[in-house]
Structure 1
Amino acid sequence: MQRPNIIFIVADDLGFADLGCYGGREAAFGPVSPVLDRLAAKGIRFTQGYANSPVCSPTRFALMTARYQYRLRGAAEEPINSKSRGSTTLGLPPAHPTLPSLLRDAGYRTALIGKWHLGFPPTFGPLRSGYEAFFGPMSGGVDYFTHCDSAGRHDLWTGDQDRQEEGYLTDLLSRRAVDYVERMASQQAPFFLSLHYTAPHWPWETREDEGLAPAVKNNLFDLAGGNIHVYRRMIHHMDEGIGWIMAALEKQGMVDNTLVVFTSDNGGERFSDNWPLVGGKMDLTEGGIRVPWIAHWPALIRAGSVSDQHCMTMDWSATMLEAAGATADPDYPLDGVSLLPVLRDTASRFHRPLHWRMNHRGQRALRDGDWKYLQVDGHDYLFNIPADERERANHAGREPERLAAMRAAWEAWNASMPPIPDDATVSLGYSSKDMPQR
């Protein structure tokens, strides 16, 4: 089979049930995600897919390396923020092989349009880690109109240069992606496009809010700002942009052999819908790590497919490498496991234990088959997820042997990873105690 073009779309802080195809409710204006719902209907939807972390940067380290993020210092929790500018340690080391660098070496053209959040120049940056082109913010959340970060510093780049450009950021990213697809249509080589939206991450601003947004410092961390209506509209704007990109692929005759993958970097935040899951961003309960995974590739994937295969972010990076015929660097063996057999045939299911850890509240988790081991604040929990997705019936007391075995399995895995540095912490610009109770 001809090697596919690949478009990897990542939303920011999107909840498990925010999309219609994951049970999300319609908004007052109608369906929130009609384009993504159609992609799922014409492709495959995973019901037991996870992010590598319940916070942003660590998941992106896993996405880029197809390895557990814990192997790199910069991925220890969420240390990368505006205070990290100038750091030579908090970022993705340019020498580390990445998904784009391995694809580039295999003959792909590569570009990142959207959020980087893996360290700041001059030490780190997309062009140092395998991307040939970059347009977007280097940091985490930025204002959708001023394009300034939480410190009020302008943060929109083209390559290594600051870029002043007017417009709603979600639309700017979508239009850049359309331009890239159209330019790549005349190229002989296949392309890999990372499209990393900041939507629906705060600040909560829709396309119609231009000129109405408060000052950036008040807006980015305004705990009284936003509502579910604005939040859903932000998702809808992103969905519309994905529709523009699919139309461009159709126009160029590239749809059939383009693998389009959509997900979120972690679970949803305060306005998200995670039903039936509990918790959200920063939590290792299901609502913090279970995310949508949609793949569309008409040349390979049968329309209307649904899979309960367990997977996480780094598995999809491994999948893209295999689909492209690219190989891992032997000095950096992958932790991710390719899902390509499942994309070909949903009956091709395999066993895949998944591990997580966080200093924040002393969290640890292991999903192994139907069962999940969870520890929070020193308390152990054991849940049968298919029977209890809301994680309410704790079997720790009923099944002490299973609990002990899963705890030992997690500890054996943890011993294979570098220890969490003592200074690692979640630093998102607010404290979890400031957030409404979920």
Structure 2
Amino acid sequence: MRLLIMQPHGWSRSSRLSRRSFAGGVAGTAAAAGLGAGAPAHAAPGEGAASTAETAAQTGERPFAAARGRHARRPNILFILGDDLGWADLSSYGSPHIRTPHLDRLARQGVRFTDAYSGSATCSPTRFSLYTGRFPGRTKGGLAEPIADKSVGLDPNHPTLASLLRGAGYATALIGKWHCGYLPDYSPTRSGWDEFFGNFGGALEYYSKLGLGGEYDLYEGDAEYKDLRYYTRVLTERASAYVRRDHGGRPWLLNLNFTTPHWPWTADGDTEESAEIVRRIKAGQKGALWHQDGGSVEKYTEMVQDLDRSVGAVLDALRASGQERDTLVFFASDNGGERFSYNWPLSGNKGSLQEGGIRVPTIVRWPARIDGGQVSHEPVFTPDWTATLLEIGGARPDRAHPLDGTSLAPYLLKGEKPAERELFWRVRGERALRRGDWKYYRGKGGADQLFHLAEDRREQADRAAAEPRLLAELRRAWERTDEELLPYA
């Protein structure tokens, strides 16, 4: 078996892992188990920050042992989402021009997932899949792609990651973008979070806090909160204060949902551009916030690097609080990248079920239980993290609302290889299912396609004609799951 080991200065060949690496987390047996069915035991050419230099390190296997006595306390959970961040927008994922030292350091200290996916291809359905641990199509609100009005939202009676962890003794907070419904019927504080500070809608202008409909959209709890500073700064300050706070000995869950690098394309200090967008919004210009006539690769780079610094500031606050070792930090994007994102070598972007629309950068760090410098090739998606965090946090799922995700706790902490399963996606006009290295895909053109992702991550070599039986089998598997879900109106 081979395992990629992240080094402080890029990727290089390494000697055998240390005893400690085998003893904790995704090292040793877990790393070996991290390969999907039929996956190569090393990274494909082109993957990672230094694609031509990447090599695999020869390892053996050891039983998971030392970690059992290393820690017993339930962790705090810091779950960070970027917004419309592409799979290769971090330098540790291959970006040739964006520098993300703080997130790269987080990856070196934990596990970098190469085959991790969002629960859907747009904002709110993925958030539904995270908060409920279920396919978006299980609930009416999850059918909106994304939510754009006050008619639907996350049912306050539906159990959530926050409500279940709160029932198990966690303090809970959501800071940043909610996008799972609007007041008066829907709110994080109605769905299990003790505290909420952020925006309800899918996007807002970074300074004025005006949303897609021209409404003011910054709230503390259910009341408007005035702060006209750059939004990413405001969220970073709030999150840093939360992790430094004394929670009375209770473990805590903080969902930190940045809007960066979602449009409009304004970085900290772009007050003139902000003022022009605000002028257009107030003049009634529909779509002004989409900023179709603005932005650039350079501006997008600036925004991603600002996101990286902001995450770094929150992690610094966590370290200063003395809780770093006992906090599980998760970082990912809510879906694939948008206009200026760097997704190579993936095809497609946000809104599509091609790899570029749903494969996202994903990093997990928990110093007390998971050793750093690990890379996992296990196919995973958003609902899995719900199940994982509930198990790690000692909370039981609600039997009336069974999870669609699989807990990765046995994989991360004991090295148990997950059973082969199917990852399912559905959006209007597209369908996709992954089993092992095979992906079944039907786009808006209506043709069924089959791709072997270990050999063809770009989804250019359609194997449908060569593998008709497998294609039919995966299509039936997709249709069986689809039959369980709510139909689109």
Pair 1:313 & 2:382 matched: yes
Report if aligned partners of 2:129, 2:382 keep a CA contact under 8 Å in 1: yes
For 2:326, the equivalent position in structure 1 comes to: 257
Whether the 8 Å CA contact 2:175–2:257 is kept in 1: the answer is: yes
Q: Distance in 2 between matches of 1:103 and 1:243?
A: 26
Quote the residue 2:16 is aligned against: none
Name 1:275's counterpart in structure 2. 344
Deviations 1:166-209 (A, max 9, x none): 211011101100011111x3521011000000011000110020
Deviation at 1:357, TM superposition (A): 1.1
Which residue matches 1:425?
none
In structure 2, the residue matched to 1:60 is 127
Q: Secondary structure at the match of 2:477?
A: helix
Q: Contact 2:266–2:273 at 8 Å: present in 1 too? A: no
One of 83, 93, 100 as aligned partner of 1:22: 93
Aligned counterparts of 2:233 and 2:313: Cα–Cα separation in 1: 10
Contact 1:302 1:344 in 2 (8 A): no
Q: 1:369 aligns with which of 436, 458, 469?
A: 436
SS in 1 for 2:208: coil
Indicate how the Cα distance of structure 1 residues 186 and 375 shifts in structure 2: closer, same or farther if over 3 A, else same: closer
In the alignment, is residue 297 of structure 1 matched against residue 366 of structure 2? Answer: yes
Q: State the partner residue of 2:75.
A: 4
Cα distance in 1 for residues equivalent to 2:405 and 2:298:
37
Partner of 1:228: 297
Residue 392 of structure 1 corresponds to 460
Q: Find 2:399's aligned residue among 330, 350, 371.
A: 330
Name the SS for the 1:212 alignment partner: helix
- Structure 2's unaligned 5+ residue stretches are 1-71
CA 1:10/1:79 → structure 2, altered by over 3 Å: closer, same or farther? Answer: closer
Larger radius of gyration: 2
Alpha-carbon offset, residue 26 of structure 1: 2.9
Contact 1:310 1:352 in 2 (8 A): no
Q: How does 1:35-434 map to 2 (within 5 A)?
A: 35-81=102-148, 84-85=149-150, 87=151, 90-183=152-245, 185-213=246-274, 214-216=276-278, 217=281, 219-344=288-413, 348-359=417-428, 362-376=429-443, 377-421=445-489
Give the number of aligned pairs.
409
Which digits, 9 at most, give the CA deviation of each residue in 1:275-324, with x for residues without a partner?
A: 11010011010000000110010011111111111111111111111110
C-alpha contact (below 8 Å) 1:55/1:77 kept by paired residues:
no
SS of equivalent to 2:380:
coil
Partner amino acid, structure 2, of 1:46: F
* Alpha-carbon spacing, 1:106–1:229, altered in 2? closer, same or farther (3 Å): same
**Residue 64 of structure 1: CA displacement?**
0.4
Partner of 1:432: none
Distance 2:131 2:467 in 1: 38
SS of the aligned residue for 2:256 comes to strand
Cα separation, 1, equivalents of 2:265 and 2:83 = 12
C-alpha separation in 2, matches of 1:171 and 1:111: 18
* 1:108–1:190 CA contact under 8 A, matched in 2: yes
1:375 aligned partner, one-letter code: R
The alignment's TM-score, normalised by the length of structure 2, stands at 0.82
The aligned counterpart of 2:18 is none
Any idea what SS the aligned residue of 2:117 has? coil
Question: How far 1:347 moved relative to its partner?
Answer: 6.5
1:4 shift after superposition: 0.2
TM-score (norm 1): 0.91
Structure 1, unpaired ranges of 5+: 422-438
Whole-angstrom CA distance in 2 between matches of 1:373 and 1:188 = 47
CA distance in 1, matches of 2:247, 2:408: 30
Cα offsets for 1:356-405 (capped at 9, x unmatched): 1111xx21111011110101121110000110000001111111111111
